[in-house]
Amino acid sequence: MNNYPVYTDNDPQKETITLNLGPTHPATHGVFQNVLEMDGERIISGVSTIGYIHRAFEKIAEHRPFYQITPLTDRMNYCSSPINNMGWHMTVEKLLNIETPKRVDYLRVIIMELARISDHLICNGILGVDTGAFTGFLWLMEEREHIYEIYEEVCGARLTTNIGRIGGFERDFNEIAFAKIKKFLIKFPPILKEFEKLFNRNRIFIERTSGVGAVDPETALNYSWSGPILRATGVDYDVRANEPYSSYEDFDFDIPVGNSGDVYDRYIIRNEEMWQSLRIIEQALQKIEKEPQGVFHADVPEFYLPPKEEVYNNMEALIYHFKIVMGEIDTPKTEVYHAVEGGNGELGFYLVNDGGRSPYRLHFRRPSFINYQMYAPMSAGMLLSDAILNMSSLNVIAGELDA
Amino acid sequence: MKDKLGSQAIFQKISTRFNEKITIPTHPYGLLTFETNNENIKEILKFLKEDNELKFNYLTDITGIHYPEQDLPIGVIYHLHSLVNNVRVRIKVFLNGDNPVIPTATDLWQGANWMERETYDFFGIIFEGHPNLTRILNVDEMTVFPMRREYPLEDPNRVDKKDYFFGR
């Protein structure tokens, strides 16, 4: 694309148009600004401007005790905040060498896979909207509502969940929660099947998406891509399988990979991952049956807040309560990196601890941030309408992009 | 998936090549960690990436850290991942505080571009040879590097979050 002469903005000979796509544009699904140089419908070059909702989480985290950092992680990828929460809990547990009971791991797996489904639902639904098919999105949105109802049953919140605690959950799943999960497992597959029927072999959809934004695996790895978009290029890297956390090694599931890395492949990968998530949840429910009932946190009184009524009636509980809240707990002076497979890639937590009650340094390896940097370079030469689809299928979440 | 190449073997291989240039490794939580300096980092990264056996082809993360009491206060931390061997490595480089300069990794990994810009934005670390080292998350007019320790979190309404409550 070097044959376009460069003119300043006011030059009368300038033949290209400078177009501001975003920061608030209905087609960008979030606060994304791209300053595009356009030749008619075609993009010549683009520059991404990010940071519109930067909230300095890493700085704030240096002044918060571990348990108060969970709500910060909620607000990164808010389409699948439980994964962020649990990734953070597991990081601290790794730091403190806490081993969680199997039942806790399985409960976490259920919630994380539900979160993955809700994340992919949004992404694929919105992709449909961007290609001009609104129905699928509304059809799936109802199912996301049912997932949020399960969250509500478990932790009381819906979007910014703050789910679980360091060491496990704050309370056990009640019967209604299990009933809702089981109901979801029955009700959701037909709807997903219907959604696939609408799109998978739809000629308009295929023509809009196939070949758009195709990426080869070398480039994807060179740009440190991760998650469904990397797997769509054919690289079988999934943190759940490569470095199993939360007992993922106990589960039998497939990792779907694509071959062309275009928007259509990413769409198919996400759909297939939802089926795999359903498989995992089913297995987890069966496994929980065999575990001792009522276990919902690790037995670590130094780090896990005791029940309130015990705090008032039991000396030990009172001491632990005081120590945890005031940050008098002993933590090792070391560093830890823990990664989980988030909704759109490897979500890493790099925690440097100096023994205080808050991290010395906490860095979030945010998949959206790293995946998005290829967006402007890969848009060059694309049609504007294709670039919109491409952005939507990268599933970049503004909160995670800017942290 | 099992590690095909243990971190001992990996370090053995690295240390035969860069004998004096790297420090004795530590293994916090099983992750091979060692330090080097800004003269050798480029060569080491290139070796790790391009060696046929190690194949650290995936750059997971670049970030910074600030220890004001150290002689070399500013740190750059690389996390590399060998997808073939399924093993990670962490490399640290400490730089002097007045003029923290380190060669860029963008010619090895395109993905280093924004990671380095973010690190520059928050710690003021200059990545020499970077194609576009400008601020990325903070506003362009900002003059300070906010993640350094000399800039405390301004939060006047919450006295309970002051540093002395954290033993600092």
Our CA-based measurement puts residue B20 at a distance from the nearest CA of chain A, in whole angstroms, of 24
Residue B120 located in a structural domain? yes
Best CA proximity match to A226, nearest among A400, A108, A399: A400
pLDDT surpasses 60 at A3: no
Of A221, A374, A402, the CB nearest to B137: A402
Our CA-based measurement puts residue B111 at a distance from the nearest CA of chain A, in whole angstroms, of 4
Q: Do B163 and A58 touch (CB under 8 A)?
A: no
Our CA-based measurement puts residue A298 at a distance from the nearest CA of chain B, in whole angstroms, of 20
Residue B119 located in a structural domain? yes
Q: Which two tokens stand for residue A154?
A: 């478990």
Mean pLDDT for B26-43 is: 89
Of A63, A95, A337, the CB nearest to B161: A63
Best residue in A224, A239, A331, A402 for a mutation probing chain B (most B CBs within 10 Å): A224
Torsion of CA A204, A206, A210, A212, to 10 degrees: 30
Total domains in chain B come to 1
Mean pLDDT for A136-152 is: 91
Residue B1 located in a structural domain? no
Q: Which two tokens stand for residue B112?
A: 């280093």
Q: Do A224 and B60 touch (CB under 8 A)?
A: yes
How many CB atoms are located within 10 Å of the residue B67 CB?
Answer: 17
Residue in chain A closest to B78 (alpha carbons) equals A350
Mean pLDDT for A66-77 is: 91
Whether omega for the bond prior to residue A256 falls within 30 degrees of 0, making it cis, is: no
Mean pLDDT for A157-177 is: 91
pLDDT surpasses 60 at A381: yes
Q: Do A373 and B61 touch (CB under 8 A)?
A: no
Q: Do B146 and A59 touch (CB under 8 A)?
A: yes
Best CA proximity match to A136, nearest among A149, A123, A147: A123
Q: Do B139 and A51 touch (CB under 8 A)?
A: yes
What pLDDT is attached to residue B167?
57
What digits encode the pLDDT tens for the residues A8-56? Answer: 777 777 788 888 887 887 777 778 889 998 888 999 889 999 988 999 9
What pLDDT is attached to residue A1?
44
Give the range of the structural domain holding residue B142, as residue numbers without chain letter.
7-166
Our CA-based measurement puts residue A223 at a distance from the nearest CA of chain B, in whole angstroms, of 4
Residue B66 located in a structural domain? yes
- CATH at B104: 3.30.460.80
Q: Do A242 and B138 touch (CB under 8 A)?
A: no
Our CA-based measurement puts residue B16 at a distance from the nearest CA of chain A, in whole angstroms, of 26
Instruction: Map tokens 């969940």 to a residue.
Output: A161
Best residue in B56, B60, B62 for a mutation probing chain A (most A CBs within 10 Å): B60
Best residue in B114, B120, B150 for a mutation probing chain A (most A CBs within 10 Å): B114
Please compute, for residue A203, the number of CA atoms within 13 A of its CA located in the half-sphere on the CB side. Answer: 0
Q: Do B115 and A370 touch (CB under 8 A)?
A: yes
CA distance A301 to A248: 26
Angle made by CA atoms B63, A51, B88, in degrees to the nearest 5: 25
Residue in chain A closest to B29 (alpha carbons) equals A336
Of B59, B79, B136, the CB nearest to A51: B136
Q: Do B1 and A357 touch (CB under 8 A)?
A: no
Residue B134 located in a structural domain? yes
What digits encode the pLDDT tens for the residues A80-97? Answer: 999 999 999 999 999 999
Which chain B residues are within 8 Å of A51, Cβ to Cβ? Answer: 135-139
CB-based contact A222:A378 (threshold 8 Å): no
Average pLDDT, chain B: 86
Mean pLDDT for A111-124 is: 93
Of B58, B88, B118, the CB nearest to A224: B58
Our CA-based measurement puts residue A216 at a distance from the nearest CA of chain B, in whole angstroms, of 14
pLDDT surpasses 90 at A329: no
CB-based contact A328:A321 (threshold 8 Å): no
Chain centre distance of CA A403:
13
Our CA-based measurement puts residue A68 at a distance from the nearest CA of chain B, in whole angstroms, of 11
User: What confidence category does residue B2 fall into, taking pLDDT thresholds of 50, 70 and 90?
Assistant: very low
Which chain B residues are within 8 Å of A58, Cβ to Cβ? Answer: 122, 147
Average pLDDT, chain A: 90
Of A51, A350, A356, the CB nearest to B138: A51
Residue B42 located in a structural domain? yes
What pLDDT is attached to residue B1?
43
What digits encode the pLDDT tens for the residues B36-94? Answer: 988 889 999 999 999 888 889 999 999 999 999 999 999 999 999 998 888 899 999 99
Best CA proximity match to A118, nearest among A88, A86, A142: A142
Residue B73 located in a structural domain? yes
- Three-state helix/strand/coil letters over A111-132: HHHHHHHHHHHHHHHHHHHHCC
Q: Do B63 and A373 touch (CB under 8 A)?
A: no
Collect all residues from B whose CB is shorter than 8 A from any CB in A. Answer: 1, 28-29, 31, 33, 57-61, 63, 65-66, 77, 79, 83, 86, 88, 90, 109-115, 118, 122, 135-139, 146-147, 153, 155, 161, 163, 165-168
Mean pLDDT for A298-313 is: 90
Three-state secondary-structure class, residue A102: helix
Q: Model's pTM, two decimal places?
A: 0.92
Residue B155 located in a structural domain? yes
